[in-house]
Amino acid sequence: MVDKIKILKETGRVSSEALSYAKTVIKEGVGLLEAVEKIELFITQKGYDLSFPINISINENAAHYTPNITDKTVFNKNDLVKVDLGARREDMLSDCAITIDLSAENAKIVETANSALEEAINIVKAGRKVCEIGAAIEKTILKNGFKPIMNLGGHGIEGEELHTGAFIPNFDNGDDTELEEGDIISIEPFVTNGFGYVDETAEVQIFQLIGTPSPRSSDTRRILDLIKTKYLTYPFSLRWIARSIPELSEFKIRRGIADLIQLNALEQFPVLVERKKGVVAQAEKELIVEKDSCTVLTTL
């Protein structure tokens, strides 16, 4: 356990440094693709892998947006940008997020997300019910005139599984599941001025291997072999496939991915958008539950 905690603290520190670096990269007029690849390189050059492709979700997009290799989108001066990332070493995963307000006009919603996160962290301890954490988050958000996103929340983290164990709600959902000493969890309030729910879109750039079929297509087999050897069972992006097999066109890569989905080999992570197109702010930290409190792992 001591070695595990040491590695988690190291991955947490690198992840937090990457978030700080993201603040220097994400500027008006900068391309999303350029920013994401610089931040991912920041992590890998320190000798760490990525827990998942970096999410750069803007305005009403709440989660799971990462650019493809041909993405020409640039940051706008009015954008509210969520950066969600994590460094990985061995099978120890980090997960953390911040919101960057390029307009300087959304300070209240950003601060609400941060405050809700801190209020939740302050009450974490072994025996704490997850609904009580949700209630603390919800109270802070409602007090500031916003809504929690009801169908998003935090989660347990264990081994190779980024989302496992307890679901940490952003409202009092009545779940009396109790945290246990030694649990690794992330808490991530999502705050909106919209409806309070997110819906899946048709856009998917992030996938995860869940089965190993035997495809007929040689291109699909090549993509599957790459996933199995390089990305294992961790989430990956179409962009990563394109970088690793540059001789395959985007059409062939998408066709191969579609084949693997049809063969039930991949889980998909669609971009999530706020139902009424309200803007969304997010804050997230990873921590370990202790007897009477907790230790935050993703901190500088």
Domain of 216, CATH number, reads 1.10.10.10
Write the burial class of residue 89 (CB in 10 Å: 0-12 exposed, 13-18 middle, 19+ buried).
Answer: middle
pLDDT classification of 3: cutoffs 50, 70, 90: confident
Q: How many CB atoms lie within 10 A of CB 118?
A: 16
Instruction: Work out the average pLDDT over 184-188.
Output: 96
- 48-83: per-residue pLDDT in tens? 999 999 999 999 999 999 999 999 999 999 999 999
Q: Say if residue 27 is in the same domain as residue 93.
A: yes
Q: Say if residue 247 is in the same domain as residue 149.
A: no
Structure tokens, 199: 């819906």
What's the Cα-to-Cα distance from 286 to each of 8, 60, 111, 168, 174, rounded to whole Å? Answer: 9, 24, 18, 12, 23
Q: Say if residue 191 is in the same domain as residue 252.
A: no
Instruction: Provide the domain count of the chain.
Output: 2
Q: Say if residue 127 is in the same domain as residue 246.
A: no
* pLDDT score for 2: 61
Tell me phi and psi for residue 21, to 5 degrees.
Answer: -65, -40
Separation of alpha carbons 246 and 237, rounded Å: 14
DSSP class of residue 46 equals T
pLDDT classification of 5: cutoffs 50, 70, 90: confident
What's the Cα-to-Cα distance from 43 to each of 14, 39, 129, 194, 234, rounded to whole Å? Answer: 7, 7, 34, 34, 16
Separation of alpha carbons 43 and 8, rounded Å: 15
Q: Say if residue 246 is in the same domain as residue 175.
A: no
Phi-psi region of 289 (alpha: psi -120 to 50; beta: other; left: phi over 0): beta
* pLDDT score for 42: 98
Looking at every residue in the chain, the average pLDDT score rounds to 96
* pLDDT score for 164: 77
Residue ranges making up the domain that contains 141: 2-200+274-296
Structure tokens, 220: 């699909």
In the block, tokens 């921590």 appear at 287
How many alpha carbons fall within 13 Å on the CB side of residue 254?
A: 8
Q: Say if residue 45 is in the same domain as residue 104.
A: yes
* pLDDT score for 162: 74
Q: What is the CATH number of the domain that holds 176?
A: 3.90.230.10
* pLDDT score for 1: 56
User: Residues 151, 194: contact at Cβ < 8 Å?
Assistant: no
Separation of alpha carbons 228 and 215, rounded Å: 14
Q: Say if residue 109 is in the same domain as residue 245.
A: no
Per-residue pLDDT at 205 exceeds 60: yes
Catalytic residues: 84, 95, 155, 163, 188, 284
Per-residue pLDDT at 115 exceeds 90: yes
- 208-224: per-residue pLDDT in tens? 999 999 999 999 999 99
Proportion of the chain above pLDDT 90, given as a percent: 93
Separation of alpha carbons 55 and 283, rounded Å: 13
